[in-house]
A = this chain, B = another copy of it.
Amino acid sequence: MSPVECIFQEFIDAIQTATSEDEFERVATRLAQRLGFQRFAYLRLTGETPMLISSYPKSWTSRYFQLGYQQLDPVVRRARAERALFSWGGEASTLAGNREQRRFFDEATTFGIRSGITVPIRGGFGRMAAFTLATGDRDLHPERLVADGEDLIRLVGLHFHCYVAARLDVLSASTRVASELTQRERQCLAWIARGKTIADIAVLVQIAPRTVGFHLDNARAKLGAASLPQCVAEALRRGLLS
């Protein structure tokens, strides 16, 4: 068995024992470095709240989200559009794209991110994710990987995604705080989550039916939900309701 397969095997074993974001990060970091990359990043875009597990410098990732770079980032855009694994960076990136995107690449370079390989992942229900191995080298050295290393990287990305989805998402539901809803909005929504209709709630809360509707309209708008069921789901996921 080739060294690369050995590394891959260790990764598969390890990922099955990870139970927290930290641990997933450590496992993937180890894999990336063993394959000759300095960094890795797993980014998932699910509606409003992106999820990132990576070994990128914190100074870079916080800046990234603060400036909404996930909209701009050519790698993310490409991952959205394509299905196959692709590599990026090197000379090509400093020339391609619009001015903003070139500046983005310049900036990333100062944080030690110059080129990499990205696995686009379709998450189902409209979600998408991308698993990236990155390096500060000017160009990728494919000889790092054996002939079918690409296949392995693809598998790594999928495994990472699947295990994060299977393990982490279940836990994170209970660890949220911020209450973005007003008390009335929460109150009405809580009743909706218990199967009451607007007319019921009007009686229970002692306000006009339309007012109940008003609060629910606001709650839906605030949580970016198209329907009450979605609104309830979002509120529960964010810990705004129990």
A residues sitting closer than 8 Å to B (CB atoms) are: 1, 5-6, 8-9, 12-16, 83-84, 121-127, 148, 151-152, 154-155, 158-159, 161-163, 165-167, 169-170, 173, 190-197, 225-233, 236-237, 239, 241-242
Contacts and interface: CB of A to CB of B under 8 A. Distances in A.
Given A8-B124, A9-B125, A151 B193 contact: no
B239 A16 contact: no
Contact of A170 (B152, B166, B233): B166
Contact of A13 (B5, B13, B125, B163): B125
A84 to B, nearest CB: 7
A162 B173 contact: no
Given A148-B83, A158-B154, A5 B125 contact: yes
Given A9-B124, A122-B152, A169-B242, 9 more contacts: A12-B123, A16-B169, A122-B151, A122-B155, A158-B159, A165-B166, A170-B242, A193-B233, A232-B232
A227 to B, nearest CB: 5
A127 B77 CA distance: 35
Q: Identify whether the interface residues of A are mostly helix, strand, loop, or mixed.
A: helix
Contacts of A12: 122-124, 127
